[in-house]
Structure 1
Amino acid sequence: MPYYELYYHLVWSTKHRAPLLTAVIEPIIYQYMRHKAHSLEAIIHALNGIEDHVHMVVTIPPKLAVAKFIGQVKGVASTRFNKEHKEHPPFFWQTEYSAFSFDKKRLPYVIAYVNRQKEHHAQHELIPLLEKDGTEDQQQTIHEPMGIYLPNYDQWFKEMQAT
């Protein structure tokens, strides 16, 4: 069995950013997404959002492309909801999405950001880059100074031995 530490922060929106993820619908959609992610051998670390978009912090096995994972999770959630809950208006997602990768040291911070989505939006305290849903025309990459990736060798070696 392969060993991997792959962490992604995924963001996608409802079709036309319609406020479809109500207090009634959100837990149903999230349950479908969790079930599908589990069947794909992914681990959801955090899942939250507001009425018109979703944030997911997830580990996806390397045998599965990120785009394929997102397509399957979104597809199953909306298809099952529309089939099993005809009393509600139809549910659709935007085709676009955003995907960010990050390292294990940042995992607790990204989980906290996602878990506090409703608070962040209510207080207008957002990280704009992490709110993108892929509908923007230009790609953007976070660039960090190279120096942060050049640790003291002895310190790095001790950290690696401790894991």
Structure 2
Amino acid sequence: MPQSLSKVYIHIIFSTKHRRKLIDEEIQPLLFDYLGGICKGLECYPVQVGGYLDHVHILCLHSRKITQMNLLEEVKKRSSKWIKTKGEKYSGFYWQNGYGIFSVTPRNIDKTAAYIRNQKNHHKKIAFKEEYRKILKSYDVDYDEKYVWD
């Protein structure tokens, strides 16, 4: 086969350190655009970026040119550095150490994108920790609770 072809959609989830509610309505649209721009610059084309006060979701088409680990390292490092320039109240901003990254079948792209767009309403009913546990369960991920949160 002379070509290398790939089409892998991924859903990335990570929170602020200690789930501090620092992603307020003032910074949300700017942050979500910035996260999408980082992904695009790494050829991981964003489909939907969103989240709520203490976490973000990124749905993107993963490039075959970058590892998952390197993608997350760059997204978190660059965005953390950027947000700290947006005012004193963000000067202590940090992301959690870990992250979740999950494959999404092409037929579920629209459903996943809608889920990400609806985060504000979704979190009127469910906290981030509970949401994340449900996602881990739906993907049948084994995890130790004491290592998931920081």
Q: TM-score of the superposition, structure 2-length normalised?
A: 0.79
Task: Look up the match of 2:135.
Answer: 130
Instruction: Label 1:131 to 1:26 Cα distance change in 2 as closer, same or farther (>3 A).
Output: farther
User: Is residue 89 from structure 1 mapped to residue 90 from structure 2 by the alignment?
Assistant: yes
- Structure 2 Cα separation of the partners of residues 127 and 93 of structure 1: 16
- Structure 2 Cα separation of the partners of residues 131 and 80 of structure 1: 29
Instruction: Label 1:131 to 1:54 Cα distance change in 2 as closer, same or farther (>3 A).
Output: farther
Offset, 1:74 = 1.1
Aligned counterpart in structure 1 of residue 73 of structure 2, from 71, 74, 81: 71
Task: Look up the match of 2:13.
Answer: 11
- Structure 2 Cα separation of the partners of residues 29 and 124 of structure 1: 22
Which has the larger Rg?
Answer: 1
Offset, 1:60 = 1.4
Offset, 1:89 = 3.1
- Structure 1 Cα separation of the partners of residues 104 and 37 of structure 2: 24
For 1:21, what is the secondary structure of its paired residue? Answer: coil
Task: Look up the match of 2:54.
Answer: 52
Offset, 1:31 = 2.5
Offset, 1:131 = 7.2
Instruction: Give structure 2 stretches of 5+ with no counterpart.
Output: 146-150
- Structure 1 Cα separation of the partners of residues 37 and 106 of structure 2: 24
Q: Percent identity?
A: 27
For 1:93, what is the secondary structure of its paired residue? Answer: coil
Instruction: Label 1:13 to 1:40 Cα distance change in 2 as closer, same or farther (>3 A).
Output: same
Q: TM-score of the superposition, structure 1-length normalised?
A: 0.73
Offset, 1:137 = 1.8
Give the RMSD, CA atoms, in angstroms: 2.4
